[in-house]
Structure 1
Amino acid sequence: MAADELIELKFRLFDGTDIGPNKYNPSTTVGSLKEIILAQWPQDKENGPKTINDVKLINAGKILENSRTLAESRVPVGELPGGVITMHVVVRPPLSDKKNEKLMADSPKKNRCSCSIL
């Protein structure tokens, strides 16, 4: 495969930092890209993703599906030949534990405000 057929991507995290840029084969799936993001996730960042289901990749305003390839997911409008494509990474917040939610709901409320607006 010729080097000019590879797609150069970088992944922009929520705080503006980037992972990459790196070059990928157009047949690479979005799920594979998410696995790469998990492996390269900066260790100093809090609330990092645990699985690929915790990560959403967005390109040109569209959420990319795990089963689709880069070639299928590309939006060529506005791309410069040989340019780096920036995909945004959104991390789903961790799901809360149902047991903890129930305990908190059953516990007495503290620091309740007793204000009345007249």
Structure 2
Amino acid sequence: MAVHELVELKFRLADGSDIGPSKYNSSATVTSLKEKIIAQWPKEKENGPKSINDIKLINAGRILENNRTLAESRIPLSEVPGGVITMLVVVRPPLPDKNSDKLQENSQKKGGCLCTIL
């Protein structure tokens, strides 16, 4: 694969919508792709990624590593020459805040109903 080859990618979100397609240099790193996804994330969608660590990119069933280039991460047999490559974007759900965990635990302890079926 040529170092300066352009690859057309689109990123499929969990709800079925896409970001792209756009052309990327095959020497681009997975980290730079994730940064572009964060920058282009639709503003109307809730729970968008805050950092590149919140995103996993999947191509042909493989999770792509941040430090690898697009050329190193591609699987040529699964691609149509000149076609658009679709990568799945998985966003890690936001971690609950420690303070909200304590509030939730307290609310569960205070009230409730207990039933026993014999």
Relative to the length of structure 2, the TM-score reads 0.90
Provide the alpha-carbon RMSD of the alignment. Answer: 1.6
Q: Give the Cα separation in 2 of the matches to 1:23 and 1:68.
A: 18
Q: How many angstroms does 1:78 deviate by? A: 2.3
Alpha-carbon distance in structure 1 between the residues aligned to 2:31 and 2:110: 43
1:87 matched to which residue of 2? 87
AA in 2 matched with 1:30: V
SS at structure 2 position matched to 1:31? helix
Structure 2 SS opposite 1:77: helix
Give the aligned partner of residue 10 of structure 2: 10
Alignment partner, residue 28 of structure 2: 28
Runs of 4 or more consecutive aligned structure 1 residues displaced over 6 Å after TM superposition: none
Give the gaps of 5 or more residues in structure 2. none
Matching residue of 1:99: 99
How many angstroms apart in 2 are the aligned matches of 1:83 and 1:29? 20
SS in 2 for 1:46: coil
Q: How far apart in 2 are the matches of 1:113 and 1:74?
A: 55
Any unmatched runs of 5+ in structure 1?
A: none
Aligned twin of 2:113:
113
Partner deviation per Cα, 1:56-104 (whole Å, 9 max, x = no partner): 1000111111111000100112211100000000000111111221233
Moved more, 99-108 or 61-70: 99-108
Give the fraction of aligned pairs with identical amino acids, expressed as a percent. 71
- Secondary structure of residue in 1 paired with 2:42: coil
Structure 2 CA distance for aligned equivalents of residues 91 and 49 of structure 1: 6
